Protein backbone atom coordinates (compact mmCIF):
# COMPACT_ATOMS: atom_id res chain seq x y z
CA UNK A 1 0.00 0.00 0.00
CA UNK A 2 1.58 3.34 -0.98
CA UNK A 3 2.06 5.98 1.70
CA UNK A 4 4.62 6.56 4.41
CA UNK A 5 7.31 3.93 4.71
CA UNK A 6 7.49 2.29 8.10
CA UNK A 7 8.72 4.96 10.51
CA UNK A 8 9.23 7.68 7.87
CA UNK A 9 8.18 11.15 9.00
CA UNK A 10 5.89 13.23 6.76
CA UNK A 11 7.35 15.47 4.08
CA UNK A 12 9.17 17.78 4.64
CA UNK A 13 11.50 16.15 7.14
CA UNK A 14 14.92 17.77 7.61
CA UNK A 15 16.30 14.46 8.85
CA UNK A 16 15.20 12.45 5.82
CA UNK A 17 17.73 11.02 3.38
CA UNK A 18 16.24 13.22 0.66
CA UNK A 19 16.82 16.39 2.71
CA UNK A 20 20.38 15.34 3.48
CA UNK A 21 21.02 14.38 -0.15
CA UNK A 22 19.67 17.72 -1.31
CA UNK A 23 22.05 19.53 0.99
CA UNK A 24 24.94 17.50 -0.38
CA UNK A 25 23.74 17.98 -3.97
CA UNK A 26 23.60 21.76 -3.63
CA UNK A 27 27.37 21.83 -3.19
CA UNK A 28 27.89 20.48 -6.72
CA UNK A 29 24.62 21.16 -8.58
CA UNK A 30 23.08 24.66 -8.48
CA UNK A 31 19.82 24.17 -6.57
CA UNK A 32 20.69 20.51 -6.09
CA UNK A 33 19.66 19.03 -9.45
CA UNK A 34 19.72 19.52 -13.21
CA UNK A 35 16.14 20.37 -14.06
CA UNK A 36 14.03 23.22 -12.71
CA UNK A 37 10.83 21.25 -13.13
CA UNK A 38 11.88 18.58 -10.61
CA UNK A 39 12.56 21.03 -7.81
CA UNK A 40 9.92 21.73 -5.18
CA UNK A 41 10.47 23.49 -1.88
CA UNK A 42 11.96 23.01 0.58
CA UNK A 43 13.72 20.11 -1.20
CA UNK A 44 12.58 17.54 -3.75
CA UNK A 45 12.39 13.91 -2.69
CA UNK A 46 15.10 11.86 -4.39
CA UNK A 47 13.96 8.80 -6.31
CA UNK A 48 15.50 5.38 -5.77
CA UNK A 49 13.47 3.05 -7.99
CA UNK A 50 10.23 2.58 -9.86
CA UNK A 51 8.04 -0.32 -10.95
CA UNK A 52 4.85 0.05 -12.98
CA UNK A 53 2.73 2.83 -11.50
CA UNK A 54 4.85 3.18 -8.35
CA UNK A 55 8.04 4.90 -7.27
CA UNK A 56 10.08 4.62 -4.10
CA UNK A 57 12.18 7.45 -2.76
CA UNK A 58 15.53 7.12 -1.00
CA UNK A 59 13.71 6.98 2.36
CA UNK A 60 11.76 3.95 1.17
CA UNK A 61 8.45 5.81 0.81
CA UNK A 62 6.25 4.32 -1.91
CA UNK A 63 3.99 6.55 -4.01
CA UNK A 64 1.78 6.33 -7.08
CA UNK A 65 3.63 8.24 -9.78
CA UNK A 66 1.14 10.59 -11.46
CA UNK A 67 3.82 12.54 -13.32
CA UNK A 68 5.41 9.70 -15.31
CA UNK A 69 8.42 11.82 -16.14
CA UNK A 70 6.32 14.61 -17.57
CA UNK A 71 4.35 12.14 -19.68
CA UNK A 72 7.24 10.23 -21.27
CA UNK A 73 6.57 6.94 -19.43
CA UNK A 74 3.51 5.64 -21.23
CA UNK A 75 3.74 2.27 -19.42
CA UNK A 76 5.02 3.60 -16.10
CA UNK A 77 8.34 2.35 -14.78
CA UNK A 78 10.43 -0.54 -16.03
CA UNK A 79 7.86 -2.25 -18.26
CA UNK A 80 9.38 -5.72 -18.79
CA UNK A 81 9.28 -5.43 -22.61
CA UNK A 82 11.10 -2.09 -22.50
CA UNK A 83 13.69 -3.30 -19.99
CA UNK A 84 14.26 -6.41 -22.05
CA UNK A 85 14.62 -4.42 -25.29
CA UNK A 86 17.15 -2.07 -23.68
CA UNK A 87 19.13 -4.95 -22.14
CA UNK A 88 19.25 -6.88 -25.41
CA UNK A 89 20.24 -3.80 -27.38
CA UNK A 90 22.89 -2.81 -24.80
CA UNK A 91 24.59 -6.15 -25.20
CA UNK A 92 24.73 -5.74 -29.01
CA UNK A 93 25.40 -2.06 -29.70
CA UNK A 94 25.01 1.07 -27.59
CA UNK A 95 25.89 3.82 -30.02
CA UNK A 96 27.52 3.97 -33.40
CA UNK A 97 28.17 6.44 -36.23
CA UNK A 98 26.02 4.44 -38.65
CA UNK A 99 22.25 4.06 -39.04
CA UNK A 100 20.65 0.93 -37.58
CA UNK A 101 17.61 -1.21 -38.31
CA UNK A 102 16.05 -0.22 -34.98
CA UNK A 103 15.74 3.34 -36.29
CA UNK A 104 13.97 2.12 -39.42
CA UNK A 105 11.55 0.06 -37.34
CA UNK A 106 10.57 2.93 -35.02
CA UNK A 107 10.20 5.27 -38.01
CA UNK A 108 7.98 2.68 -39.73
CA UNK A 109 5.77 2.44 -36.66
CA UNK A 110 5.38 6.22 -36.43
CA UNK A 111 4.68 6.63 -40.15
CA UNK A 112 2.12 3.84 -40.04
CA UNK A 113 0.43 5.26 -36.93
CA UNK A 114 0.46 9.04 -37.29
CA UNK A 115 -1.73 10.51 -39.99
CA UNK A 116 0.43 13.55 -40.78
CA UNK A 117 3.76 11.75 -40.64
CA UNK A 118 5.12 10.26 -43.89
CA UNK A 119 8.79 10.72 -43.04
CA UNK A 120 10.55 11.17 -39.72
CA UNK A 121 13.98 12.33 -38.49
CA UNK A 122 15.10 11.61 -34.94
CA UNK A 123 16.88 13.85 -32.45
CA UNK A 124 17.30 13.75 -28.69
CA UNK A 125 14.67 15.91 -27.02
CA UNK A 126 11.40 17.70 -27.56
CA UNK A 127 13.31 20.97 -27.41
CA UNK A 128 15.42 19.89 -30.37
CA UNK A 129 12.38 18.56 -32.23
CA UNK A 130 10.63 21.94 -31.98
CA UNK A 131 13.85 23.75 -32.87
CA UNK A 132 14.30 21.65 -36.04
CA UNK A 133 10.61 22.02 -36.93
CA UNK A 134 10.92 25.82 -36.78
CA UNK A 135 14.20 25.75 -38.71
CA UNK A 136 12.36 23.62 -41.26
CA UNK A 137 9.68 26.28 -41.65
CA UNK A 138 12.30 29.00 -42.14
CA UNK A 139 14.46 26.91 -44.48
CA UNK A 140 11.54 25.92 -46.71
CA UNK A 141 9.91 29.33 -46.96
CA UNK A 142 12.97 31.58 -46.80
CA UNK A 143 10.98 33.75 -44.37
CA UNK A 144 11.91 34.69 -40.80
CA UNK A 145 8.73 34.94 -38.73
CA UNK A 146 7.33 32.23 -36.44
CA UNK A 147 3.93 32.67 -34.81
CA UNK A 148 3.25 31.01 -31.46
CA UNK A 149 0.63 31.12 -28.71
CA UNK A 150 1.20 33.44 -25.76
CA UNK A 151 2.08 31.43 -22.65
CA UNK A 152 2.63 28.11 -24.42
CA UNK A 153 5.73 26.11 -23.48
CA UNK A 154 7.63 24.42 -26.30
CA UNK A 155 10.99 23.64 -24.69
CA UNK A 156 14.06 25.84 -24.28
CA UNK A 157 15.24 26.66 -27.81
CA UNK A 158 15.44 30.41 -28.36
CA UNK A 159 12.59 31.09 -30.79
CA UNK A 160 10.26 28.57 -29.17
CA UNK A 161 10.77 30.01 -25.71
CA UNK A 162 9.68 33.55 -26.63
CA UNK A 163 6.64 34.67 -24.59
CA UNK A 164 6.39 31.40 -22.66
CA UNK A 165 5.73 33.30 -19.44
CA UNK A 166 5.88 37.01 -20.27
CA UNK A 167 5.65 39.54 -17.50
CA UNK A 168 2.53 41.74 -17.64
CA UNK A 169 4.76 44.84 -17.61
CA UNK A 170 6.20 43.76 -20.97
CA UNK A 171 3.47 41.78 -22.71
CA UNK A 172 1.95 44.72 -24.61
CA UNK A 173 -1.61 45.28 -25.80
CA UNK A 174 -4.11 42.42 -25.75
CA UNK A 175 -4.85 42.86 -29.46
CA UNK A 176 -1.16 43.02 -30.45
CA UNK A 177 0.83 41.05 -27.85
CA UNK A 178 4.54 41.86 -27.65
CA UNK A 179 7.04 39.08 -28.22
CA UNK A 180 9.07 38.81 -25.01
CA UNK A 181 12.27 36.84 -25.20
CA UNK A 182 13.76 34.63 -22.52
CA UNK A 183 16.73 36.00 -20.63
CA UNK A 184 19.91 34.68 -22.17
CA UNK A 185 18.53 34.56 -25.72
CA UNK A 186 20.50 36.30 -28.47
CA UNK A 187 19.47 39.93 -28.95
CA UNK A 188 16.69 40.30 -31.50
CA UNK A 189 15.26 36.77 -31.23
CA UNK A 190 11.84 38.16 -30.38
CA UNK A 191 11.76 40.33 -33.52
CA UNK A 192 11.04 37.24 -35.55
CA UNK A 193 8.24 35.93 -33.37
CA UNK A 194 4.57 36.84 -33.68
CA UNK A 195 2.55 36.16 -30.53
CA UNK A 196 -1.08 35.06 -30.82
CA UNK A 197 -3.56 34.86 -27.94
CA UNK A 198 -4.94 31.33 -27.46
CA UNK A 199 -8.16 30.51 -29.30
CA UNK A 200 -8.96 34.06 -30.50
CA UNK A 201 -9.94 33.22 -34.06
CA UNK A 202 -10.58 36.67 -35.45
CA UNK A 203 -7.61 38.37 -33.81
CA UNK A 204 -5.34 35.48 -34.81
CA UNK A 205 -6.50 35.75 -38.41
CA UNK A 206 -5.91 39.51 -38.45
CA UNK A 207 -2.43 39.22 -36.96
CA UNK A 208 -1.40 36.43 -39.32
CA UNK A 209 -2.68 38.33 -42.36
CA UNK A 210 -0.91 41.49 -41.24
CA UNK A 211 2.43 39.60 -41.11
CA UNK A 212 1.77 37.05 -43.87
CA UNK A 213 4.60 38.13 -46.17
CA UNK A 214 7.21 37.42 -43.44
CA UNK A 215 5.54 34.35 -41.93
CA UNK A 216 7.47 31.07 -42.11
CA UNK A 217 5.27 29.02 -39.81
CA UNK A 218 2.80 28.82 -36.96
CA UNK A 219 3.68 26.68 -33.96
CA UNK A 220 0.81 25.29 -31.89
CA UNK A 221 0.37 22.65 -29.20
CA UNK A 222 -3.13 21.13 -29.33
CA UNK A 223 -3.33 21.07 -25.53
CA UNK A 224 -1.10 23.37 -23.53
CA UNK A 225 0.03 21.91 -20.21
CA UNK A 226 1.28 25.17 -18.74
CA UNK A 227 -1.99 26.86 -19.68
CA UNK A 228 -3.88 24.55 -17.34
CA UNK A 229 -4.16 21.86 -20.07
CA UNK A 230 -6.21 24.23 -22.16
CA UNK A 231 -7.14 22.74 -25.53
CA UNK A 232 -7.13 24.59 -28.82
CA UNK A 233 -10.63 24.94 -30.23
CA UNK A 234 -11.38 23.31 -33.59
CA UNK A 235 -12.25 26.77 -34.97
CA UNK A 236 -8.88 28.17 -33.92
CA UNK A 237 -6.77 25.39 -35.48
CA UNK A 238 -8.92 25.41 -38.62
CA UNK A 239 -8.21 29.13 -38.92
CA UNK A 240 -4.47 28.45 -38.45
CA UNK A 241 -4.58 25.76 -41.14
CA UNK A 242 -6.48 28.01 -43.56
CA UNK A 243 -4.31 31.06 -43.02
CA UNK A 244 -0.97 29.23 -43.19
CA UNK A 245 -2.06 27.51 -46.41
CA UNK A 246 -3.21 30.86 -47.79
CA UNK A 247 0.13 32.59 -47.25
CA UNK A 248 2.41 29.61 -47.90
CA UNK A 249 3.61 29.23 -44.30
CA UNK A 250 3.94 25.88 -42.49
CA UNK A 251 1.60 24.71 -39.77
CA UNK A 252 3.75 23.08 -37.08
CA UNK A 253 2.09 20.98 -34.38
CA UNK A 254 4.00 20.43 -31.15
CA UNK A 255 2.84 16.96 -30.08
CA UNK A 256 5.73 16.34 -27.74
CA UNK A 257 3.16 16.11 -24.94
CA UNK A 258 -0.09 16.01 -26.87
CA UNK A 259 0.64 12.83 -28.80
CA UNK A 260 -1.13 11.20 -25.85
CA UNK A 261 -4.42 12.74 -27.00
CA UNK A 262 -4.99 10.50 -30.00
CA UNK A 263 -3.79 7.07 -31.09
CA UNK A 264 -3.14 8.50 -34.56
CA UNK A 265 -1.89 11.80 -33.14
CA UNK A 266 -3.66 14.81 -31.64
CA UNK A 267 -3.93 16.18 -35.18
CA UNK A 268 -6.08 13.22 -36.19
CA UNK A 269 -8.49 13.95 -33.33
CA UNK A 270 -8.74 17.55 -34.56
CA UNK A 271 -8.95 16.37 -38.20
CA UNK A 272 -6.20 18.79 -39.17
CA UNK A 273 -3.17 17.92 -41.25
CA UNK A 274 -0.17 19.94 -40.04
CA UNK A 275 2.83 20.17 -42.38
CA UNK A 276 5.29 19.25 -39.66
CA UNK A 277 4.87 17.59 -36.26
CA UNK A 278 7.37 17.77 -33.40
CA UNK A 279 7.43 14.58 -31.32
CA UNK A 280 9.23 13.40 -28.18
CA UNK A 281 8.58 11.88 -24.76
CA UNK A 282 6.51 8.65 -25.15
CA UNK A 283 8.08 7.63 -28.47
CA UNK A 284 11.40 7.02 -26.67
CA UNK A 285 10.06 4.51 -24.15
CA UNK A 286 11.53 6.55 -21.29
CA UNK A 287 14.91 7.34 -22.88
CA UNK A 288 15.81 10.76 -24.33
CA UNK A 289 14.21 11.38 -27.71
CA UNK A 290 12.77 13.92 -30.10
CA UNK A 291 11.62 13.64 -33.70
CA UNK A 292 10.38 15.78 -36.53
CA UNK A 293 7.78 14.21 -38.79
CA UNK A 294 5.80 15.46 -41.71
CA UNK A 295 4.81 15.31 -45.36
CA UNK A 296 7.16 13.29 -47.55
CA UNK A 297 7.85 16.06 -50.08
CA UNK A 298 8.75 18.62 -47.40
CA UNK A 299 10.78 16.23 -45.29
CA UNK A 300 12.76 14.93 -48.26
CA UNK A 301 13.50 18.45 -49.44
CA UNK A 302 14.64 19.38 -45.95
CA UNK A 303 16.66 16.41 -44.89
CA UNK A 304 17.57 14.08 -47.82
CA UNK A 305 21.33 14.46 -48.33
CA UNK A 306 21.07 12.98 -51.85
CA UNK A 307 19.04 16.03 -52.83
CA UNK A 308 21.29 18.57 -51.12
CA UNK A 309 19.28 18.82 -47.89
CA UNK A 310 18.09 22.33 -47.07
CA UNK A 311 18.60 21.84 -43.36
CA UNK A 312 21.76 20.73 -41.59
CA UNK A 313 20.78 17.98 -39.21
CA UNK A 314 23.43 16.29 -37.10
CA UNK A 315 23.53 14.97 -33.55
CA UNK A 316 25.89 12.41 -32.06
CA UNK A 317 23.08 10.58 -30.30
CA UNK A 318 20.31 10.99 -32.90
CA UNK A 319 18.49 7.67 -33.31
CA UNK A 320 20.87 5.95 -30.90
CA UNK A 321 20.10 2.23 -30.80
CA UNK A 322 19.18 2.13 -27.10
CA UNK A 323 16.50 4.81 -27.43
CA UNK A 324 15.22 3.30 -30.65
CA UNK A 325 14.88 -0.14 -29.04
CA UNK A 326 13.14 1.27 -25.96
CA UNK A 327 10.84 3.45 -28.07
CA UNK A 328 9.89 0.60 -30.36
CA UNK A 329 9.08 -1.74 -27.47
CA UNK A 330 7.02 0.92 -25.68
CA UNK A 331 5.11 2.06 -28.74
CA UNK A 332 4.46 -1.50 -29.97
CA UNK A 333 2.85 -2.28 -26.59
CA UNK A 334 0.84 0.92 -26.76
CA UNK A 335 -1.71 -0.39 -29.22
CA UNK A 336 -5.19 0.96 -29.85
CA UNK A 337 -6.75 -1.17 -27.09
CA UNK A 338 -4.14 0.10 -24.61
CA UNK A 339 -4.80 3.67 -25.74
CA UNK A 340 -8.55 3.28 -25.20
CA UNK A 341 -8.11 1.65 -21.82
CA UNK A 342 -5.75 4.42 -20.70
CA UNK A 343 -8.10 7.15 -21.91
CA UNK A 344 -10.95 5.51 -19.95
CA UNK A 345 -8.78 5.68 -16.82
CA UNK A 346 -8.28 9.38 -17.54
CA UNK A 347 -12.06 9.87 -17.81
CA UNK A 348 -12.52 8.03 -14.51
CA UNK A 349 -9.92 10.27 -12.86
CA UNK A 350 -11.48 13.51 -14.15
CA UNK A 351 -14.98 12.42 -13.09
CA UNK A 352 -13.66 11.42 -9.65
CA UNK A 353 -11.81 14.71 -9.18
CA UNK A 354 -14.92 16.70 -10.12
CA UNK A 355 -16.87 14.70 -7.54
CA UNK A 356 -14.15 15.31 -4.94
CA UNK A 357 -14.41 19.07 -5.53
CA UNK A 358 -18.20 18.93 -5.30
CA UNK A 359 -18.29 16.79 -2.16
CA UNK A 360 -15.66 18.88 -0.35
CA UNK A 361 -17.17 22.18 -1.52
CA UNK A 362 -13.77 23.42 -2.68
CA UNK A 363 -13.50 25.69 -5.72
CA UNK A 364 -11.69 23.97 -8.55
CA UNK A 365 -11.54 23.12 -12.23
CA UNK A 366 -10.62 19.84 -13.84
CA UNK A 367 -9.25 19.98 -17.38
CA UNK A 368 -7.51 17.68 -19.84
CA UNK A 369 -8.35 14.69 -22.01
CA UNK A 370 -7.23 11.09 -22.53
CA UNK A 371 -4.37 10.38 -20.07
CA UNK A 372 -3.60 14.06 -19.31
CA UNK A 373 -5.46 15.80 -16.47
CA UNK A 374 -5.21 19.27 -14.93
CA UNK A 375 -6.55 20.18 -11.47
CA UNK A 376 -6.67 23.84 -10.48
CA UNK A 377 -8.05 25.26 -7.28
CA UNK A 378 -10.21 27.96 -8.83
CA UNK A 379 -13.62 28.27 -10.45
CA UNK A 380 -12.40 31.21 -12.55
CA UNK A 381 -12.78 30.60 -16.26
CA UNK A 382 -9.28 30.58 -17.74
CA UNK A 383 -9.18 31.00 -21.51
CA UNK A 384 -5.81 32.62 -22.17
CA UNK A 385 -2.40 33.12 -20.61
CA UNK A 386 -3.50 36.58 -19.47
CA UNK A 387 -6.59 35.13 -17.76
CA UNK A 388 -4.31 32.67 -15.98
CA UNK A 389 -1.94 35.42 -14.82
CA UNK A 390 -4.86 37.56 -13.60
CA UNK A 391 -6.36 34.61 -11.73
CA UNK A 392 -3.05 33.75 -10.07
CA UNK A 393 -2.52 37.42 -9.19
CA UNK A 394 -5.93 37.47 -7.48
CA UNK A 395 -5.18 34.23 -5.63
CA UNK A 396 -1.51 33.21 -5.82
CA UNK A 397 -2.32 29.76 -4.46
CA UNK A 398 -4.63 28.45 -7.16
CA UNK A 399 -2.28 25.92 -8.64
CA UNK A 400 -2.12 23.56 -5.71
CA UNK A 401 -3.16 25.91 -2.86
CA UNK A 402 0.39 27.15 -2.52
CA UNK A 403 1.72 23.62 -2.63
CA UNK A 404 -0.54 22.41 0.20
CA UNK A 405 -2.50 20.06 -2.04
CA UNK A 406 0.72 18.82 -3.61
CA UNK A 407 2.24 18.14 -0.17
CA UNK A 408 -1.02 16.65 1.11
CA UNK A 409 -0.93 14.16 -1.75
CA UNK A 410 2.77 13.47 -1.35
CA UNK A 411 2.05 12.48 2.25
CA UNK A 412 -0.87 10.30 1.14
CA UNK A 413 1.25 8.35 -1.31
CA UNK A 414 0.46 10.24 -4.51
CA UNK A 415 3.05 12.16 -6.54
CA UNK A 416 1.26 14.72 -8.73
CA UNK A 417 2.79 17.46 -10.90
CA UNK A 418 3.57 20.38 -8.61
CA UNK A 419 1.87 22.71 -11.11
CA UNK A 420 -1.43 20.85 -10.70
CA UNK A 421 -1.50 18.05 -13.23
CA UNK A 422 -1.59 14.28 -13.40
CA UNK A 423 -0.37 12.04 -16.20
CA UNK A 424 -1.44 8.40 -16.14
CA UNK A 425 0.22 5.31 -17.57
CA UNK A 426 -1.01 1.93 -18.79
CA UNK A 427 0.31 0.50 -15.52
CA UNK A 428 -2.52 2.23 -13.61
CA UNK A 429 -5.60 0.29 -12.54
CA UNK A 430 -9.15 1.56 -11.87
CA UNK A 431 -8.58 0.86 -8.16
CA UNK A 432 -5.51 3.11 -8.20
CA UNK A 433 -7.49 5.90 -9.87
CA UNK A 434 -10.03 5.64 -7.05
CA UNK A 435 -7.21 5.77 -4.52
CA UNK A 436 -5.85 8.95 -6.14
CA UNK A 437 -9.32 10.50 -6.02
CA UNK A 438 -9.73 9.54 -2.34
CA UNK A 439 -6.32 11.03 -1.54
CA UNK A 440 -7.29 14.26 -3.32
CA UNK A 441 -10.63 14.46 -1.45
CA UNK A 442 -8.89 13.78 1.84
CA UNK A 443 -6.21 16.39 1.12
CA UNK A 444 -8.82 18.94 0.05
CA UNK A 445 -10.69 18.43 3.33
CA UNK A 446 -7.56 19.08 5.34
CA UNK A 447 -6.63 22.31 3.50
CA UNK A 448 -7.17 25.53 5.42
CA UNK A 449 -10.42 27.25 4.33
Q: Given the complex with ligand PLP, which of 179 and 278 has the nearer CB atom? A: 278
Give the CA distances from residue 346 to residues 94, 257, 353, 430, 447, in Å, rounded to whole numbers and listed in that order.
Answer: 36, 15, 11, 10, 25
Residues forming the site for ligand PLP (CB under 6 A): 70, 125-127, 130, 153-155, 221, 225, 254, 256-257, 280
Residues in CB range of 81: below 8 A, 6 or more apart: 329, 330, 332, 333
CB of 288 to ligand PLP, least distance (A): 7
Reference 110, options 314, 262, 264; nearest CA is 264
What one-character DSSP code corresponds to residue 280?
E
CB of 290 to ligand PLP, least distance (A): 6
Strand pairing class (250-254; 276-280): parallel
Q: Given the complex with ligand PLP, which of 76 and 280 has the nearer CB atom? A: 280
CB of 109 to ligand PLP, least distance (A): 19
Residue nearest to ligand PLP (CB): 126
Pair 222, 237: CB distance under 8 Å: yes
Q: Given the complex with ligand PLP, which of 102 and 161 has the nearer CB atom? A: 161
CB of 238 to ligand PLP, least distance (A): 21
CB of 91 to ligand PLP, least distance (A): 27
Reference 151, options 386, 366, 375, 376; nearest CA is 386
Q: Given the complex with ligand PLP, which of 280 and 321 has the nearer CB atom? A: 280
The three-point CA angle 49-405-156 to 5° equals 65
User: In the beta sheet, which residues pair with residue 364?
Assistant: none
CB of 130 to ligand PLP, least distance (A): 5
Q: Given the complex with ligand PLP, which of 56 and 153 has the nearer CB atom? A: 153
Q: Given the complex with ligand PLP, which of 132 and 257 has the nearer CB atom? A: 257
Residues in CB range of 4: below 8 A, 6 or more apart: 10, 61, 411, 413
Amino acid sequence: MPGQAGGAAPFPDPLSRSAVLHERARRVLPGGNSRHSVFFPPYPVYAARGRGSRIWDVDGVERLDCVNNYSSLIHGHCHPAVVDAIARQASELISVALPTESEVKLAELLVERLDAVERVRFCNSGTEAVMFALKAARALTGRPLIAKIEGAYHGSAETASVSTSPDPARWGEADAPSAVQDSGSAPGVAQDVLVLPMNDVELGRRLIRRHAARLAGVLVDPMVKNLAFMAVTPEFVSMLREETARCGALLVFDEVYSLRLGFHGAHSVLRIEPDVVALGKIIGGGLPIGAVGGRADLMDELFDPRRGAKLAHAGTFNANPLTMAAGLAAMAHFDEAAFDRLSALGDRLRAGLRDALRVTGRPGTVTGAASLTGLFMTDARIRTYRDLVATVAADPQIMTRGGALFRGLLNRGVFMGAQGFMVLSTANTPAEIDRIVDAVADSLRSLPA
